[in-house]
Amino acid sequence: MKKDIVKEAYDLSKESHKNQKSIDGKPYSEHLRNVYLKLKKISNDPIILASGLLHDIIEDTKYSKNDIERKFGKKIAFCVDGLTKIPGYSKNFNKTLNKLKKYIQKDRRILLIKLIDINENIRVLPFVKEDKKERVAVKTFRLLDVLEPLCKRPIEKELLYNKKRAIHKYFFNYNLEK
């Protein structure tokens, strides 16, 4: 594996998402950087770190799985593809969940990246349009329910339960404000 693969992943993710904004109005690259920084606290695995930086590149940019494989190798391309939603995500939510489960069963690193990504997505829930908040919260909770039986290691369980508590707290508070 290339020595600077994480740096290359960072550079590509920053460049490929440079004109995109997160729902909170910040540059989208900040979401990817935050995912990376949280992953870095629990792993030094370059495949996890690079995949975390690239996790949205296939669904949000011009890059394909083949492009990622050519540049970063099969393992990173597999992880990134496993984290990529099926087109028409709302309509294909269950298919996306099944795909994610199958990929996690083949490479557990995907689970860790997804749990950290969910953490970052929960952080921007207050910025979701009012008419979509409940749907997003429910889908996130369903996703966590699907991931729960796959969480075997203590760090995975801790991340999952922290996310469930956060989404429950947010959703409960949101409904009280309605």
| Residues in CB range of 96: below 8 A, 6 or more apart | 85, 86, 89
pLDDT at 2: 55
| Residue 177 predicted with pLDDT over 70 | no
What's the CA gap between 103 and 65, in Å, rounded? 14
pLDDT digits 0-9 by tens, 87-123: 887 778 889 999 999 999 999 999 999 999 998 888 8
Cα maximum dimension of the chain: 52
pLDDT of residue 123: 84
% pLDDT > 70, the chain: 94
- Domains, in order of start, for the chain: 5-177 (1.10.3210.10)
Residue 84 token pair: 């990529």
- 87 or 73: which leads in pLDDT: 73
Q: 84 pLDDT band (50/70/90 cuts)?
A: very high
- Summarize pLDDT for 137-175 with one digit per residue, the tens: 888 888 899 999 999 999 999 988 888 888 777 776 654
- Looking at residues 63-77, what average pLDDT do you find? 97
Torsion 45-46-52-56 (CA) sign:
negative
